[in-house]
Structure 1
């Protein structure tokens, strides 16, 4: 029998006892004198029965109170657990939706002043809803004939910036690639552009930051450009526009990425 049914049974039993006693006293033909004489004659037995009945009622009332307390406590615990779970989910939802998120977007390979070399450019973009604090970065650049390069070492970080929500902070590599060397690797100008040897430019690095809620985060990135697309196909131009950038198969990850392997 469940606790709720025990509660109903107890209330029903008390109601029967009280109702029966009230019914006897309300009968008009019932002789009050006879009741008095009977009580005087059996006073000892009546007192004993009364005392036992009182004890029984007290025990029953105590049991009912214990059952009621147990039911109430259980419901209270369930309600408390439900509220705690809701509060935890709300906090988790707010952390996930309101925090700062840093992505690093390709911004092209651009000529330096004087035209002797090119630099890799990126945009550090806060796509979240809180400012990103203590933003530090490492950027580098290299050329390779391999379009599936896998080695992208991370060096010392620089900077200590704040990036507000929705802002793109432009950065450029400190490493400069000389145009003459890149053309030499590709075989230009000996060959026509369609017959050049493959040369891929990699712009990679890492951005570390605090997400606005006090937690340290990081984003690794690697963008690949094909040197054959320099100048958008025009002779004598060496910029590679951002539309030709590709997110490389390797070197892109965040602090929330699943472990490799």
Structure 2
């Protein structure tokens, strides 16, 4: 080697490599959303990606856009025919028996987070009235924006008292009613009707003769057409195992419905799930 730079290599003694080119690649424009690259249309709604650093993290469902006649925040429901509702374990409640506000995660069948649900109720009513308590269930999307409100007023519960039937009002956005769930008087098994905004019965829901957590198996509430002849979906309490069922009142549910069902009715069936959970699978009356 004679100390001279080899042909084709930079002379390190005379300044080394040239400065890097800052404009070699075009800058990536910042923004909270990225669109999936397929053209929008009636069969291909635009889908936007949730921010990775948001409250849902990476395992969140993408939000369709351009869904016609859809209240804001319910676009997610247009793309699913199944929801999984998972109640979070509250350690204070598990160890002390002190009834705390329930919290849930609502996922699609791929396990991606769709909504978060948080109960709002009074401390005294929770611990004195148990599953009879009134409450508001706030439903929030992965951005933390409330998109639905489920309201259950206080009413005494008993199969022998037809004047004390349970109801759930579903509003989306909060304050705008999209449907109601009403308990029907029945001695032998749980029964409900699901109504739209004008009071028409869209579905009826019938539960089993024994609707409780002690069956060591899934408990199915079947969703029928108004005449009761055709089953179109289910609300199923999933058996979580002996230890969890014995020491906590945290519950997991599955909800199925037709894919092309109106998103308002899908939201109302979600409300029916929370009403059923409170009536039959929450801690017994105090």
More helix per residue:
1
Question: Normalising TM by the smaller chain, what interval?
Answer: under 0.3
Q: TM-score, normalised by structure 2?
A: 0.21
Structure number, greater radius of gyration = 1
Q: Larger relative contact order (C-alpha < 8 A, sep ≥ 6)?
A: 1
